[in-house]
Structure formats: C-alpha cells, structure tokens
Structure 1
Amino acid sequence: MKAYPRDTDTVAEGRPDRGDDHALVRASLAGDARAFERLYRAHVGRVHGAILRLVGMDRARAEELTQEAFIQAWRKLSSFRFDAAFSTWLYRLGVNTALMELRGRRDEVNADNAALELAAGGEVPFCAGERDDLERAVSKLPPRARAVLVLHDVEGWKHEEIAAELGMAVGSSKAQLHRARALLRTTLEAA
C-alpha cells in the first residue's frame, strides 16, 4: 500500500504556490507528465486525507478513490480555469469522487428527520479525544452520517453545500450531523 504524506508533510516540503501550480498545469496541458507528477506529489496528501475521512478510514478504498481522483484530474485538466487556485479545484474533485461513492451506496436505511433528531437527542457537542480513538469512532459511523460530519465539522462546509452535494434536504443534513455526533459521543464514552 502506498503511503501518502500528511498535509503538514507536504507543506513542510514546500507546496507550490498558486503561480507555480498554474505553471505546472500549463506544462501538463502541453503534455509534460513530470509537471503533473509534481502537482500530484504536492497535493496528494490533502486529497487523500479528505477522502480517507469520508470513506471511514478504509485505507484501501481511500487509495483507490485518490487514484481515481487524480486520473479524473488528468482527464479534466483542460476544464481547469486559471482564475482559482488549482489546489481548490483538485480538492473539490477529490471530495466529489468520494461523495459519488457514497451516493452509489444504497445499503443504509433512510430514517425520517424527526427520528434522527430524536435519536441524536438534540444538540450534542462534538466530542474530542485521542486522535486514533476518534478516527476509529468516525470510521464506524453510517456512511451518510460520516460524510456530513466530516464535511461539516472537519472540512467546514455549510449545511446548504452538503445538502446540495449529497442530494438531501438541509434539514436532513442537520439531522445526520446530530446523529453522527450522538453516535460518536456514545462510542467515545464507552471506550
């Protein structure tokens, strides 16, 4: 299994700035595979980290989806507009790859919003704890609840963005977040 650098490792190694990224994208579009490799090395840690959290710490699946995201990036590189940061475009493409995986899953029973709200017990504060314990607890969450939790509490998305991306109502996104937090709390308190 390939080891991906953490975001902090990539930054410490000197992640290219926006201008460098744009130059590398232009070179890649001209057929320079080494330029795309440099983009890959500079951004794989952040993309892989987001995907890993979204797929519940399933490292094998995260590796597959990370590779798929970079294959899509190569194929769609000509659609990149130079008015934004390449890292933002690439990160969003990676997150969308993982979310497509979630959308394809139909194994989770859908509960109505009231039942989810009741199960969550209303507002439940986000639990902090040992990083490994927390990651294990998050990985055990149902896929949609995990996706909402990661996108909202970790990645900083708004419920409106999550709802649009996952094809659910804003209220469902909020209910899934409450559900995920309650399940996390229960799991971490039992540990």
Structure 2
Amino acid sequence: MLSSVMPVEVTEPAHASAPDDAALAREAAAGSVQAYERIYRRHAPRLYALVFRICGRQAERAEDVLQDTFVKAWRALPGFRFDSALATWLQRLAVNTALMELRARGGMVDRENGEHDLEALAGADAGARCAGTGLDLERAVATLPPRARAVLVLHDIEGWKHHEIAEELGMAVGSSKAQLHRARGLLRQRLGESR
C-alpha cells in the first residue's frame, strides 16, 4: 500500500491548517487511506531513523521493519485508545517490530548477560572502518551487540528511561543499565582504536 514511497524522502509539509495526529488517526481508523498516508509521511522519516539504528545501519532490514510497523499500525489503529500521543504509539510499535525482527533473525541474545562471540565483534569492527578516517560514531554504534545497541539507541538517542527500556526488552532495570554501560565502553574502545 505505502511501500513504494522511500521513507527518508517522505515529509509532510507543516501548515497551520494541517490536521493534528489525533484527527488523522480518527479518520484513518474510520478507513481513510488519505489520512493514513499523511500519518505515514509525517512519521516515517523519524521512525526510519530509529529502526535504522536499532537494525545496525542495515537499510534493507530497516525498510522492512518500517513497512511492517505501518502495516501493524494500520491494522491496530481502530483500537487506538488515544492514551498516548500517536507519535509515541508509533515509536513503541516500531521499536517492538525492530526487536522482534532482530530476535527472529537471531540478532538478539537471550542469555542473561547478553554476551556475544568477541571474534565476531572484531570482524564487524574491521568491516566498518572508513578508508583513512577510522570509525565514525554511527558505524561504531552499528557494530555493537544488538541488545547493547538497542539500549544505547533507546536511552541516549531516544531519551527513554531504564524502566521503559527494561519493560520493552524484557530485562531487569539493572540489566538495562549494565547494557548501556557496556555499550558506552565498547564505543569508547572502538572510537579510540580507530584514531
């Protein structure tokens, strides 16, 4: 339905008379494809950026996750209760979809400590180096283990609290804090090694 539009190219112009998200959500829930397309154009770029980071900078995976997110949103919109902002609801749906996709592809480790094979990480580091400039921050984030990357993106980039992350990822609050500490340490290490 909406897959032919590239997520990074769609934007909704800001007009003073443009309907707010709640009005668009009500219209879309009643079956208006045009209202839903406006929701898509308005929110797709930000959601794409979020899932792109969670998916480790893999554009194809991020596009699939974005598509799945909006298909799920279309189906679930009639049940949307307006307890939160539409943007918040879509963001949570996108995060859940990205995490489910990572789990389905074996990209998330369910072991208690979330450890990964260090040799695999070293190989990811080598593949992510820029010619002559070392590792940039985005590429360094992409080389993090998926669980640590998800916590870092949600906490440091999206501004989530540890209890929200813990609930979303199915871990203890202490594990969320430990994964964030781990992610930051790995980033410092990788960025320091690239100089």
TM-score by structure 2 length?
0.77
SS at match of 2:176: helix
**Structure 1 match to 2:75:** 75
Change (3 A) 1:24 1:173: same
What is the Cα-based RMSD across aligned positions, in Å? 3.0
CA deviation profile, 1:127-173 (whole Å, cap 9, x unmatched): xxx9x811100000010010011111111111111111111111111
Give the letter aligned to residue 154 of structure 2: L
2:153 to 145, 150, 155: 150
Q: Which piece of structure 1 moves more, 30-39 or 180-189?
A: 30-39
Give the letter aligned to residue 80 of structure 1: F
Change (3 A) 1:3 1:33: closer
Change (3 A) 1:45 1:93: same
**Structure 2 match to 1:137:** 140
Greater helix share, 1 or 2? 1
Give the letter aligned to residue 111 of structure 2: N
- How far is the alpha carbon of 1:85 from its aligned partner? 2.0
Between the two proteins, the alignment pairs up a number of residues equal to 173
Cα distance in 2 between the residues matched to 1:73 and 1:15: 24
- How far is the alpha carbon of 1:98 from its aligned partner? 1.1
Alignment pair present for 1:26 and 2:26: yes
**Structure 2 match to 1:110:** 111
Change (3 A) 1:16 1:43: farther
The answer to whether the Cα contact below 8 Å between 2:162 and 2:176 also exists between their aligned partners in 1 is yes
Query: Greater relative contact order (Cα 8 A, min sep 6): structure 1 or 2?
Result: 1
Cα distance in 2 between the residues matched to 1:73 and 1:47: 13
Cα distance in 2 between the residues matched to 1:58 and 1:171: 29
Structure 2: 5+ residue runs without aligned partners?
116-132
CA deviation profile, 1:12-70 (whole Å, cap 9, x unmatched): x3188995222222222222211111111111011111111111111110000000000
The percent identity for this pair of structures is 54
Structure 1: 5+ residue runs without aligned partners?
116-129
Give the letter aligned to residue 173 of structure 1: S
Moved over 6 A (4+): 15-18
**Structure 2 match to 1:5:** 8
